Chain A
Amino acid sequence: MGWAFYNVPCSDTNTSLHPFSLAKGLVTSGRNTCTPYHSSTVKIPFVAILRTNLHQEMNYFPDEVIEHIFDSIASHRDRNSISLVSKSWHKIERCCRRRVFIGNCYAISPERLIGRFPCLKSLTLKGKPHFADFNLVPHEWGGFVHPWIDALARARVGLEELRLKRMVVSDESLELLSRSFANFKSLVLVSCEGFTTDGLASIAANCRHLRELDLQENEIDDHRGQWLNCFPDSCTTLTSLNFACLKGETNLSALERLVARSPSLKSLKVNRAVPLDALTRLMSCAPQLVDLGVGSYENEPDTESFAKLLAAIKKCTSLRSLSGFSEVAPLCLTAFYPICQNLTYLNLSYAAEIHGNHLVKFIQFCKRLQRLWILDSIGDKGLEVVASACKELQELRVFPSDLHDEEDNNAAVTEVGLVAISAGCRKLHSILYFCKQMTNAALITVAKNCPNFIRFRLCILEPNKPDHVTSQSLDEGFGAVVQACKGLRRLSVSGLLTDKVFLYIGMYAEQLEMLSIAFAGDTDKGMLYVLNGCKKLRKLEIRDSPFGNAALLADVDKYETMRSLWMSSCDVTLGGCKRLARDAPWLNVEIINENEDNGMERNEEDEREKVDRLYLYRTVVGTRNDAPSCVTIL
């Protein structure tokens, strides 16, 4: 079906489409909300016969037809654009909208959400800011899902899917969720915390039509209970089950029975407590698996176990995705050779003990690999093998393996590995690379080899480390990346960087949506270059960099176009933050203090006092009322 691009002038006959009042009705989406007074580009799935006044022509169609057309438009960004075209389109769109993405749960309230989208089926919510992953946000900061579930339940929304990231979820919330939505099908929790396996038991027991239970990297209190037993025998609809992050023991027989009665199961990720023989049995009764996450196998299997495992694996001809391996003995890994060449995703990044050689031997057969997550123990040489073997590679993540030992890890990766990958894997568009050292020359080469990067995250382990050959800053290297990669949407910089790198970023990174800065820059100019230059910037997170009030306050309206700004250990002061809060009442300006006591005394504090952690975000619902005492909202 062909697509037509049509420039839709947002109706200028509607005064209700004033930017600010529109913002009040608009659910903040994960993408930039389009500025309503400019024309938007809408992709319509029809040939371009309707060239002008499309919305007026289309208004001759019955609403159901228009709804049907809208239904085929999946992207949140496009749906948001459609809703801005005219009052009638806004109304039609909101009544048939099924999926909503809310990038910051405090930007809008559940009541407003439900009021606008009564037919909601799928909701995605994100809570804490990204740096919460690195312990920079207090546990009690917020991001509670309960009010959302409560409101959705009371309004009898027909919720079928809930996806949460960095939110606080309680067992009560899960219980309420499991009892309130008869057609609930899919629960995906990423980096959440606050619940136990008891909450999982409620989900298992009460969600009759559950298809997906996907728990990624959550902090779950494992009561070592029988939650797997709580899936009734009548539950046969599971397509995806991921409990890899659970730390306790698993009821193996319950798991095996569950898998055996789930013929549609495509994705299974078990936790480390599932031993090899159990895994073998699981694979034998689910040869249709596409995505498998295995447990921890530090001991070499005996001959018989190995043979059984190998036989089971050979039957899994649909397997495309393999992960888990929190420990894996080399022999164990070889059992997976038969399915190597089918793999498109491989995650060996938790296998800390296995030597790089074994990793390389395995990966070299994975010719169809598109996404690879590994540890730096693979070494530069290993990356060279990847570069020659994995020509389809699109995404690579190389994590640091030795974080506590300060001795030099000779096997770790350097700029050599990165260059090799860029030369061999021309389809590469996403990279996360932790390394000890980097050079401008390498980055320039990488940029030339791979101009298609959308995500480029480089983390040089030592802060402020310069080019190790020339001792210069890495401004030029990163400059080359932003200049060559015209589609770059996400960037993390590191190493020794001056204001100049930000000049380059502001100048060239036109599509940049998320920027992470640590230990970089010299003056406020750095931050200003970014704020002034990057028109599509949504998330900016900065730590330990000398940016202060001048940069923070230069263009307050900029923050209305962004989801959020994080600044920690920078030079902004309490006075600056207070001024910002006064000038921009539609922002929540949160000061996160080091300990609770400071919160109370803040008002008397010297306004010249530097703020430890600042987190600000646009919102249409004002100050939240669930902040802990260590958070002051100005």
Chain B
Amino acid sequence: MAYEEIINGLNLKDTELRLGLPGTEEEEQQQLQEVSCVRSNKRQFHETTDEHNLKEESSPPAKTQIVGWPPVRSNRKNNNKNVSYMKVSMDGAPYLRKIDLKMYKNYSELLKALENMFKFTIGEYSEREGYKGSGFVPTYEDKDGDWMLVGDVPWDMFSSSCQKLRIMKRSEAPPAS
């Protein structure tokens, strides 16, 4: 549907007959594109989206955001990830950053670097309660596609299975169970 609407630079949406307040669709589309449809069998952090709306109204979600797509076995995904540059996103920050995990030997070095990069403080980690004393929680996506709390597993295991990092606002994260 996206293909037909941009014809000769005319935005036909303006003259389209539809139900709904003018100007609302744009917002919807934006929202749909931002939300990732992470539907995992052992999901840690719950994110939902209406997948069928996605299909009809906006361009499909980017390939890295759909669980189990493309249909490639996870050992292939690992093997191909030989670069250690990892994307880091922070809720509220407009740009993603990239870091080279190989530069760090342990969690404290990594977390310090993240604090410097995004100008915030991470707080104290404890096994039972996660991170305390800060509005942010560092999380990462592992090779199974699950979102995990940074610091739970030994550093070696983390650095070999981490695919990308996301520093979540505490308000977004569900309460520790």
Partner-B contacts on A (CB < 8 A): 131, 133-139, 191, 217, 245, 326-327, 349-350, 352-353, 375, 399-404, 406, 434, 459, 461-466, 471, 492, 516, 518-519, 543-544, 546, 569, 592, 594-595, 612, 630
Contact = CB atoms under 8 A, between A and B. Distances in A.
B108 to A, nearest CB: 26
B72 interface: yes
Given A138-B42, A404-B64, A462-B63, A518 B69 contact: yes
A406 B62 contact: yes
Contacts of B67: 134-136
Contacts of A543: 68
B3 to A, nearest CB: 5
B82 interface: yes
13 contacts: A131-B68, A134-B72, A135-B145, A136-B68, A326-B79, A349-B76, A352-B80, A404-B81, A404-B163, A434-B70, A516-B71, A519-B60, A612-B39
A133 B71 contact: yes
B174 to A, nearest CB: 12
A135 B72 contact: no
B30 interface: no
A327 B74 CA distance: 17
B68 A135 contact: yes
B42 A461 contact: no
Contacts of A375: 80
Contacts of B71: 131, 133-134, 459, 492, 516, 518
B77 A462 contact: no
B80 to A, nearest CB: 4
B60 A462 contact: yes
B79 A352 contact: yes
A612 B68 CA distance: 14
How would you classify the secondary structure of chain A's contact residues: helix, strand, loop or mixed?
A: loop
A434 B72 contact: yes
B69 A217 contact: no
A464 B144 CA distance: 24
Contacts of B42: 138-139, 595
Contacts of B126: none
Contacts of B74: 135
B114 to A, nearest CB: 19
Given A400-B70, A434-B70, A135 B41 contact: yes
B64 A406 contact: yes
Interface of B: 3-4, 39-43, 51-52, 55, 60-64, 66-77, 79-82, 87, 144-145, 163-164
Nearest to A612: B39
A4 to B, nearest CB: 43
Chain A to chain B: the 7 pairs with minimum beta-carbon distance, closest first: A134-B68, A352-B80, A138-B41, A463-B60, A136-B68, A350-B79, A471-B3
- Choose among A352, A403, A492 the residue with the greatest number of B CB atoms under 10 Å from its CB: A403
A327 B82 contact: yes
B34 to A, nearest CB: 15
A434 B61 CA distance: 18
Nearest to B42: A138
B33 to A, nearest CB: 13
A403 B68 CA distance: 12
Given A462-B60, A464-B55, A464-B60, A217 B75 contact: yes
Contact of A400 (B39, B43, B72, B81): B72
A463 B56 CA distance: 12
B40 A463 contact: no
A135 B70 contact: no
B82 A352 contact: yes
B38 to A, nearest CB: 11
Contacts of A492: 71
Contacts of B163: 404
A254 to B, nearest CB: 24
A402 B80 contact: yes
A403 B145 contact: no
Given A191-B73, A403-B70, 11 more contacts: A135-B74, A349-B76, A399-B76, A401-B80, A404-B81, A462-B60, A463-B60, A463-B69, A471-B4, A519-B55, A544-B51
B73 A134 contact: yes
Contacts of A137: 41
Contacts of A136: 41, 67-68
Contact of A403 (B4, B40, B80, B82): B80
Contacts of A464: 55, 60
A352 B75 CA distance: 13
- Interface centre among A400, A465, A492, by most chain B C-beta atoms within 10 angstroms, is A400
A585 to B, nearest CB: 28
A350 B75 CA distance: 10
Contacts of A400: 70, 72
Contacts of A471: 3-4
A546 B41 contact: no
A459 B70 contact: yes
A459 B63 CA distance: 12
Contacts of B145: 135
Of the listed residues B4, B66, B76, B80, the one surrounded by the most CB atoms of chain A closer than 10 A to its CB is: B80
B157 to A, nearest CB: 11
Nearest to B71: A134
Contacts of A399: 72, 76
A135 B60 CA distance: 20
A492 B71 CA distance: 11
A353 B70 CA distance: 20
